[in-house]
Amino acid sequence: MDGIAERAWTPGAELVVAVDGDGLRHIVELAPSRHGGRGGGDRRSTAARRAAAHAARPERIVEGSGRAVQYVAGRRWEVSATGFWQPHLGAAQCYSDVVAEWSATPAGATAWDLYCGTGVFAARLAEQVGGTGVVHGVESARSPVADGAAALRDLPAVGLSAQRVERWLSDRTGSPAPQVVVLDPPRAGAGKDVIAALAAADPARIVHIGCDPAAFARDIGLYRAAGYHVTRLRAFDAFPATHHVECLALLERTVS
C-alpha cells in the first residue's frame, strides 16, 4: 500500500491493488459507479442500483500493466488485475492441490469444472484425464474464460464455455455423464436447481467449494437429500477478520 494514501484520487472511485506472482504491483482506478444516489425502498430502484454497481466501468491503469501474472502448479496465467483471483497469495495453489487429490479422475474420464473462472481446477483435472479424457469448464464471465483459454491452449482435453452454469446444465441432456464434478459457486452457493442437475448427472465424486459457511451448509443439505454424503472436509481461514471461511467438501453417493 506504499504511496497510495499520499496520492489524489477521483472522488467516489474504487481502487484495485494487486500484487501478482512476479511480485509486480498493479493499481487500477475504476470510475465511480453511476447508481443514481437516490434512496427509497422501491424494488425497481434497488435493482437498478445493483445493475449499475455491476456494470462495466471505465478503468485507469495507474501502476503496472493492468495484467497480473499468476502461477499454479507450474502453469502461468495472465489475468486482468481487476478480475477475480484468490485474495490469499497461496490459496489457488492450496485449493487446487486439494481438488487434485480428492478428484482422482480416471484417465479417459469426463470431468466438469463449474464456475471455473480461468480454469485453475480444470488444468489439474486435465492432468488426470489425459489425452483421451474431456474436461468441460463453465463460467458466466467472458474475460476470465478468454484468459483461461489462452493459459490452457496446450491442453486439448479442456474446453471452456462462457455461459451461465444453470443454462449449460440444462443443455447437457444426452451428453456423456461426468465421473467427477468440481464447483466453486459464488458466495450465495449453488442452490437447489444446480445441485438437482448435478445429482441427476450422477457423478461418482463431487468437490464443492464455498467461502460462506452458511451457504455452504445449505448446499451440503441439498446434496444429502439427493443421496450424497460428505467423505472429506477441509476449512481454510483465507479471509482474516471476516466471517468467511473457505470450505471444501468431497461428496460421494450414499451406499445403501
Reading the block at residue 11, the C-alpha cell is 472522488
Which amino acid is it at 64? G
3-state SS of the chain is CCCCCCCCCCCCCEEEEEECCCCCEEEEEECCCCCCCCCCCCHHHHHHHHHHHHCCCCEEEEECCCEEEEEECCEEEEEECCCCCCCCCCHHHHHHHHHHHHHCCCCCCEEEEECCCCCHHHHHHHHHHHHHCEEEEEECCHHHHHHHHHHCCCCCCEEEEECCHHHHHHCCCCCCCCCEEEECCCCCCCHHHHHHHHHHHCCCEEEEEECCHHHHHHHHHHHHHCCEEEEEEEEECCCCCCCCCEEEEEEEECCC
CA-nearest of 188, 226, 227, 204 to 112 is: 204
Side-by-side strand order, sheet with 134-139: 158-162, 134-139, 110-114, 180-183, 205-210, 246-253, 228-236
Active site residue 211: yes
Q: Which of 94, 116, 211, 247 is catalytic?
A: 211
Query: Looking at the annotation, which residues are catalytic?
Result: 211
